[in-house]
Amino acid sequence: MLLAARGLRAFGFGFAAVLIGVHLERRGLPAGLIGLTLGVGLAAASLSGLASASLAARFGRRRVLAASGILMALTGLDLALANQSALLVLAGITGMLGAASVDLGPFASVEQAVLAEAVPGARRNVAFARYSLTGGLFNAAGGLAAALATSAESTAGFFLLYAEIGVATAALPLLMTGKVEAPAPAPAFGSFRPLAGLAALFALDSLGAGFVANAVIAYWLHVRFGADAGTLGPVFAGIAVLQTLSYEVSGRLSNRFGLINTMVFTHLPSNVLLLLVPFSPTLGWAIGLLLARYALSQMDVPARQAYVVSIVPPAERAGAVAMTGAVRGVAQSFGAALAGLAIGAAAFALPFFAGGLLKIVYDAALFGGFRNRRAEHEI
């Protein structure tokens, strides 16, 4: 049921991310208000996990997941039916615009805590890999489905579907058993010491990612080799598929070599490949290096999720995911701003060097600081 809710929601976020800007423009919002709405939506998505973790500690995880689904449904109805600018901008405050990653928002922190309770420790690494795999596949399917929205009416219809998905994801948690709740009532936030250094490193990684956002890479390929949309589209579709399939591999590597080792020794080679991309003599070489890089670069995602929930007491798992997610989200927003500057310098390949070096520093620091701190199910 948890994976079904994850998949449905990821499908909705997939088409919403593609359509939200066009939809707001069709409803008459000027560019400035569209930017404000998206900015507010990203910030709210990054921070809403903190609220949902706190509420889950008080009212229960299933109830909070159900309430978050209702909030998603209300957002979809607002976007589909409202014509007033104020109401459309208000939709961003819910953090449910779908413009953010599926790993951000009020669902992620509680769901990942539930996932840790739903499977034995020996199966946790693979479970988190399946969780990421499900999100990635359905998110990509949603993005492809957005191509069917050819008019204002069809775009509004997609957001009505978004509201229906919210209702479905609200119902599924209520069917789960009480075993997914925290073993005993406790504050949502407590173990900040082991998380503070980890959150700082995650922020560094997210900042580095801002320099090499897909838009920056696509623009560099265009400037350096003259790649057009007909070439770039299939390339980035292939990248998305490789990233998604790598999640399953990650779970198996984590079982064999450990979570921190999997995070570092898949991420580090991917960043070395990133540094080599600017030296590509031809477009074929550049694409080959990028595909190799992205086949490795996201294997740390399920390992990171499994690690965060496994170094704090069960009652604090949702809070741990929320705190590290909020830090990553804020750093990601700075990364997005830096990406704008990076695009201007993309012809000189500076983003690849800045992003790659920051990420290599992250990998080294993560291994140096946490290689001896095992997750509870690894001990």
The pLDDT tens digits for 91-100 are 888 878 776 5
Q: Which of 35-39, 117-121, 274-278, 306-310 is predicted least confidently?
A: 35-39
The rounded distance, in Å, linking the Cα atoms of 325 and 299 is 17
Do 322 and 303 contact (CB within 8 A), yes or no? no
Q: What is the mean pLDDT of residues 3-30?
A: 86
3-class SS letters over the chain = CHHHHHHHHHHHHHHHHHHHHHHHHHCCCCHHHHHHHHHHHHHHHHHHHHHHHHHHHHHCHHHHHHHHHHHHHHHHHHHHHCCCHHHHHHHHHHCCCCCCCCCCCHHHHHHHHHHHHHCCHHHHHHHHHHHHHHHHHHHHHHHHHHHHCCCHHHHHHHHHHHHHHHHHHHHHHHCCCHHHCCCCCCCCCCCHHHHHHHHHHHHHHHHHHHHCCHHHHHHHHHHHHCCCHHHHHHHHHHHHHHHHHHHHHHHHHHHHHCHHHHHHHHHHHHHHHHHHHHHCCCHHHHHHHHHHHHHHHCCHHHHHHHHHHCCCCHHHHHHHHHHHHHHHHHHHHHHHHHHHHHHHCHHHCHHHHHHHHHHHHHHHHHHHHHCCCCCHHHC
* CATH code at 192-378: 1.20.1250.20
Give the residue extent of every domain in the chain.
2-180, 192-378
The string over 344-379, giving b where at least 16 C-beta atoms fall within 10 Å of a residue's C-beta and e elsewhere, is eebeebbbbbbbbebbbebbebbbeebeeeebebbe
pLDDT digits (tens, 9 = 90+) for 170-224: 999 999 888 888 776 666 666 666 688 888 999 899 888 877 877 678 778 888 8
pLDDT of 40 > 80? The answer is no
Q: How far apart are CA 331 and CA 106, in angstroms?
A: 18
pLDDT value of residue 66? 94
Residue in 126, 376, 378 with CA at minimum distance from that of residue 251: 126
Q: What was the pLDDT predicted at 346?
A: 65
pLDDT at 343: 63
* Residues 316-355: tens digit of each pLDDT: 888 888 888 888 877 766 765 566 566 666 667 888 998 8
Q: What letter represents residue 368's amino acid? A: G
Is 1.20.1250.20 the CATH classification of the domain at 2-180? yes
Give the tens place of pLDDT for each residue, 116-166.
888 888 888 999 999 989 988 888 888 788 878 777 788 899 999 999 999
Same fold yes or no, 2-180 and 192-378: yes
Record the pTM.
0.79
CA separation for the pair 216, 221 (Å, rounded): 9
Tens-digit pLDDT profile for residues 244-293: 889 989 999 999 999 999 999 999 999 999 999 999 999 999 999 999 99
Most confident of 30-39, 56-65, 163-172, 208-217: 163-172
CA angle 101, 97, 334 (to 5 degrees): 50
As given in the structure block, the two tokens for residue 299 are 């294997």
Q: How far is CA 97 from CA 4, 123, 222, 288, 337, in A?
A: 20, 33, 30, 34, 20
pLDDT of residue 172: 94
Q: 104-120, pLDDT tens digit by residue?
A: 778 888 898 888 888 88
At 193 the pLDDT is: 67
Rounded to whole angstroms, the Cα distance separating 77 from 293 reads 40
